[in-house]
Amino acid sequence: MATFLYRLGRFAFRRRHFVALIWVALLTLAGVGAANAPAAGNTSFSIPGTEAQKAFDLLEQRFPGASADGATARVVFKAPAGEKITDARNKAAVEKTVGTLSDGSEVASVADPYTGKAVSKDGTIAYASVKYDVSGMELEDSSRDALKEAAQDARDAGLTVEVGGDALSAAPETGATEVIGIGIAAVVLVITFGSLLAAGLPLLTALIGVGIGVSTITALAATLDLGSTTSTLATMIGLAVGIDYALFIVSRYRAELAEGRDREEAAGRAVGTAGSAVVFAGLTVVIALVGLSVVNIPMLTKMGVAAAGTVAVAVLIALTMIPALLGYAGRKVRPMGEKSKLLGGGRNRGADRAAKPNLGTRWASFVVRRPVAVLLLGVVGLGAAAVPAASLELGLPDDGSQPTSTTQRRAYDLLSEGFGPGFNGPLMVVVDAKDSTDPQAVFRDVGNEIKRLDDVVTVTPAAANKAGDTATITVIPGSKPSSATTEDLVHAIRDKGADVKADSDASVLVTGSTAMNIDVSQKLNDALVPYLALVVGLAFLLLIVVFRSVLVPLKAALGFLLSVMAALGAVVAVFQWGWLSGLLGVEETGPVMSMMPIFMVGVVFGLAMDYEVFLVTRMREAYVHGEKPSQAVVTGFKHGARVVTAAAVIMMAVFAGFIGSSESMVKMIGFGLAIAVFFDAFLVRMALVPAVLALLGRRAWWLPKWLDRVLPNVDVEGEGLRTASGAPSRDDDDKELVRA
């Protein structure tokens, strides 16, 4: 592999105009597609195999034309202080709004608050339910605008009016923190390279890669039902890995220049060595993200595949466009150790630098001398951070987790005030009595049984379909949708349904957004262990090929488990317990998003293996060239610690930039990934890894002879480039690439 990538790097350096033109053309093509595509909406929660989904499908079949998947909105009205919503003037304003909403071309029905008993007991709050013929993804902007205008007209009449539901969805906003994160990344690059131009190359290529990836996602959003969160997460991960991959190749290029090689040769060797590590690091990230499909939740699968595609683009750009841009930069990108004149270059400090070991060398030497103390301290620290994870509660965000500045959140709060906290999460019970001899009696009995359960406030009479064999019953819990009490109620209704099935052959299914969220959480919990086995197993095999060792990949996997558990503990402490919630802008604490553990496992594992590959390949490179194991650890840190540290800080800055998002899911993922990178890069890879390798000695690189014979030699260290008698000619490069 190293030889092929070496040729690719030299080819891209020489044919820089051709390579740059291809990437610019791809960016333009993706941009045009995105500009002409409809905007992304909210991805629907379709969960195959769950009871909530079965009930939803049954409604589609037994209640044709009811638009079971249609968008909904709740327009909530509150009378001015000291007045009632039933007062003549206020009632006229509400009824005018209802009439205006009924005229919409996509509106299926609007329920009048006064005829539908949708007025609070104290008479101050009422709501109108709006049902649309199409889903939230298909809803026209004109319908959303009409909804906003109708609410504004009622406000002008003196009422407090807020709108909730999926018809009026707010696109996530990241604010200034995302830009600050990129700014921090730029500063770190300048400090690392000592050159503005060299620092700009990783940023430029990362932005191009993210531009292509996100534009492609936007262009395909309507076709593939991709939500706005999908592109946000692809941006987050694509920026982080794109900058890091380019950083490693540019750093290796400058190191090759410092050894006296000409620029084309340095570009080839940089891509052949650091580029090999980039390929395998990228493969681990792609495996982890694509592996999310085993959960069988379409939304999660799409998010993973879209982000994996963006990572693949980042790898390809790092391997081709970076050497092309280095060709354009020429002598403006200086050898390792030299700074530009603007940043203090040109001073005679080379001898001082050569005499004084760098910080990475000094740290690694310390760890090698005190491996047991460092290992124990690191494990205890990560274990303490992981303690809150034992209290992990899972759920999915609803309007109650939105910022208080949004109309959805204010509508949620008004409904809780007027009708109780459970009103925002009604349960829909579907009774299928097709095989029963007396369906009406079954409907009545089911309703009576549900009324006797704890935490039930209201049970509506059964509403049967035209055939009379299926009915829906709406249940209002006494607790808020995301509470454990409401989850217990859902399970209690389902337990009663099993008794009904035994007595009357009728099926009782619970659905609705609250029940769907509960089923999603359960499915994600059930899938976590198989997902871990698949992803860690595949990556373990991949790392055996890369490092030609059994214990190094095993140590890498165990270190990852420590870092991800510590990161989950931090997420629980902030988003569930409320620690530092004010500082991070967390307005509502509650259960952790149910997708968070499995998503963190996938993404953090891939990113953790990035640092493992980049750092440990330098150590193996020194070991196979004859250094003692302990000295190889120090050498690996001498060459890799500065760059890995910079890469980790950059990745943390990019992820932390998304903490300012208005979308609670994006905010949580941004924080979780940022803290996970901190734990993994600085505690696991920088402390535990050298400590374990120092303790293992030569045993760290042990591989059974039979396994050594069957494993392919991928030559990540570039050994083939060193043993070759001479560099291939340009014609040989071009012919080899054509054959490939």
459 bridge partner residues: 475
Single-letter amino acid, residue 459: V
pLDDT at 371: 92
109 bridge partner residues: 131
pLDDT at 726: 44
Cβ atoms 511, 428 nearer than 8 A: yes
Q: How far apart are CA 196 and CA 189, in angstroms?
A: 8
Does the pLDDT at position 351 exceed 50?
Answer: no
Run of H or E including 489: helix 484-504
pLDDT at 337: 65
Q: What is the distance, to the nearest Å, from the Cα of residue 342 to the centroid of all Cα atoms in its chain?
A: 39
Q: How far is CA 494 from CA 387, 418, 432, 475, 486, in A?
A: 33, 29, 13, 13, 13
Cβ atoms 648, 678 nearer than 8 A: yes
Confidence of residue 378 (pLDDT cuts 50, 70, 90): very high
Does the pLDDT at position 349 exceed 50?
Answer: no
Does the pLDDT at position 394 exceed 70?
Answer: yes
With both helix axes pointing from N to C terminus, report the angle between 484-504 and 513-547 in degrees, rounded to the nearest 10: 110
Residues 566-583, mean pLDDT to the nearest whole number = 87
Q: How far apart are CA 724 and CA 739, in angstroms?
A: 20
Q: How far apart are CA 545 and CA 565, in angstroms?
A: 27
Confidence of residue 173 (pLDDT cuts 50, 70, 90): low
Residues 536-546, mean pLDDT to the nearest whole number = 81
Beta strands of 438-534 (E only): which ranges? 456-459, 463-464, 470-477, 507-511
111 bridge partner residues: 129
427 bridge partner residues: 475
pLDDT at 276: 82
pLDDT at 228: 63
User: Above pLDDT 70, what percent of the chain?
Assistant: 88
Q: How far is CA 624 from CA 63, 364, 467, 715, in A?
A: 70, 19, 77, 11
- 583-597 per-position pLDDT tens digit: 777 767 777 887 788
Rounded (5°) CA angle 671-672-677:
100
Residues 478-505, mean pLDDT to the nearest whole number = 86
Lowest mean pLDDT among 7-11, 342-346, 407-411: 342-346
- 696-706 per-position pLDDT tens digit: 888 888 888 88
Q: Which of 157, 269, 254 has the alpha carbon at shortest distance from 202?
A: 254
pLDDT at 421: 86
The three-state secondary structure class of 529 is helix
- 28-75 per-position pLDDT tens digit: 998 888 888 765 544 455 677 788 888 888 888 887 765 555 678 889
Cβ atoms 342, 196 nearer than 8 A: yes
Does the pLDDT at position 460 exceed 70?
Answer: yes
pLDDT at 719: 61
Q: What is the pTM of this model?
A: 0.76
Q: How far is CA 472 from CA 401, 417, 443, 444, 475, in A?
A: 28, 26, 9, 11, 10
Residues 125-139, mean pLDDT to the nearest whole number = 79
Residues 121-146, mean pLDDT to the nearest whole number = 82
pLDDT at 740: 47
pLDDT at 300: 78
Q: How far apart are CA 495 and CA 497, in angstroms?
A: 5
Q: How far apart are CA 508 and CA 58, in angstroms?
A: 11
Residues 502-527, mean pLDDT to the nearest whole number = 84
Q: Which of 229, 239, 235, 283 has the alpha carbon at shortest distance from 595?
A: 229
Q: How far apart are CA 426 and CA 593, in angstroms?
A: 20
Q: How far apart are CA 343 and CA 194, in angstroms?
A: 6
Query: Which residue shows structure tokens 């095989």?
Result: 435
pLDDT at 732: 52
Which DSSP category does 658 fall into? G
Mean pLDDT of the chain: 82
Residues 162-184, mean pLDDT to the nearest whole number = 68
Confidence of residue 366 (pLDDT cuts 50, 70, 90): very high
The token pair that represents 517 in the structure block: 């969220």
Q: How far apart are CA 436 and CA 432, in angstroms?
A: 9
- 631-665 per-position pLDDT tens digit: 988 988 887 788 888 888 888 888 888 787 767 77
Q: Which of 603, 733, 615, 575 has the alpha carbon at shortest distance from 674?
A: 603
Query: Which residue shows structure tokens 């069988």?
Result: 296
Residues 293-311, mean pLDDT to the nearest whole number = 83
Confidence of residue 340 (pLDDT cuts 50, 70, 90): low
pLDDT at 138: 66
A 10 A CB-CB count for 719 gives 15
A 10 A CB-CB count for 103 gives 10
230, 232, 238, 240 alpha-carbon torsion, rounded to 10° = -140
Does the pLDDT at position 539 exceed 50?
Answer: yes
With both helix axes pointing from N to C terminus, report the angle between 551-571 and 371-386 in degrees, rounded to the nearest 10: 40
Does the pLDDT at position 352 exceed 50?
Answer: no
Residues 195-214, mean pLDDT to the nearest whole number = 84
Q: How far apart are CA 429 and CA 515, in angstroms?
A: 10
Q: Residues, the chain, total? A: 740
The three-state secondary structure class of 76 is strand
Residues 591-615, mean pLDDT to the nearest whole number = 78
Integer-rounded Cα radius of gyration of the chain:
30
pLDDT at 339: 56
pLDDT at 342: 46
Cβ atoms 324, 252 nearer than 8 A: no
